[in-house]
Amino acid sequence: MGFERAVNIDELRAIARRRLPRFVFDYVDGGSEDERTLAGNRAAFERLRWRPRTLVDVSARSSETTILGLPAALPAVVGPTGLNGLDWRDGDLALARATAAAGLPFAMSTVCMSYIEDIAKVATRGLWLQAYVFRERAITDRLLDHAAAAGCDTVMLTSDFPVAGKRERDYRSGLLPKQRFTLATKLDILRHPRWLLSVATRKPRFVNVERELGPGRNVNEFVGHGMFDPSLDWDDLARYRDRWRGKLLLKGVLRADDALRAAAIGVDGVVLSNHGGRQLDSAISGMDALPDVAEAVGNRCAVLVDGGVRRGSDIAKAVALGAQAVLLGRAPLYGLAAGGEAGARHALAILAEEFDRTLALTGSRAVAELTRDLLA
């Protein structure tokens, strides 16, 4: 099946699985340890049932909304994902172009494989940077300076990565801990000649981090020697709130008290996230945390959520529970891996069509009419 014939995200996932070497697919698809958090992200959506209004004139509907005060075609942002250049050549740029065509903001990862400036040229509906705070704070600071100069309007500081989660699929393939592939992984790569010719000819590089390190420093050694800072705390959040003049989000929140503390520091929003099930196993999902957090923070700051979105109806459920928007992670990546920019466009079009259909079938004519009483 070509990606054009895929009727849902799961079918795009199946195409991506066939096209990619196993180690790449597992990097995209996998979670930590027993993957209970990964499964729980989907289960949180699946538990919710609609209680739709009836006899509502839904002949005129709109999926348009605002996210952090800026217009968007859908209450969704294409969220930050790393190593997209392994899914498709120049994958970050292809995904950013598809996102702009869909009328959505694009959030790039610290560990993406294209320069911020190049992504900014194609992310015309808003560019966000997901920022890790490194042990060497000067590296993070310079990264934010480059983002500001490129026109990035929003930064998401990631708080749930004091140490890396144990992603066992990546250990089995040899991708982790030091990229020493097993024989089985090498043989599997050889069974994907199209991927080898189009993608593997370009060595994966964390180009933005590499640039901030400066000449004479090896980015692989920097990454391999604990670049992430387990001492990150609330004082650091306050410092970055003072330093960054654009919109600032805190990503990795799962508790109402933490959300309130972040709002008091002055963040523009919190992202309820368990890092896509890739960090703490058996953590609750962002959707599990959403009702309490949304009620607690009220209008103090925006509340966004990620993890497990596979349907347009999932986006609608998150909005109904109080989220301003969702962050899309794996769903557009499956499209990217299945067919590049066109595949990512197809994935986003599927979600947009499903969201519009959900509006109609729940008796909602606009995003604002997706309210909590619709869910059981």
CA separation for the pair 118, 95 (Å, rounded):
12
Closest Cα to residue 313, out of 236, 370, 259? 370
Task: Label residue 151 exposed, middle or buried (CB < 10 Å: 0-12, 13-18, 19+).
Answer: middle
CA separation for the pair 165, 280 (Å, rounded):
6
Residue 114 · residue 207 · CB < 8 Å: yes
Report helix, strand or coil for 306.
strand
Closest Cα to residue 88, out of 147, 24, 11, 4? 24
Question: Which listed residue (146, 225, 275, 346) is catalytic?
Answer: 275
Catalytic residue status for 275: yes
CA separation for the pair 187, 155 (Å, rounded):
40
Give me the phi and psi of 355, to 5 degrees please. Answer: -65, -45
CA separation for the pair 283, 222 (Å, rounded):
29
Q: Residue 347: which H helix or E strand, with range?
A: helix 330-361
Q: Where in the sequence numbering do the catalytic residues fall?
A: 275
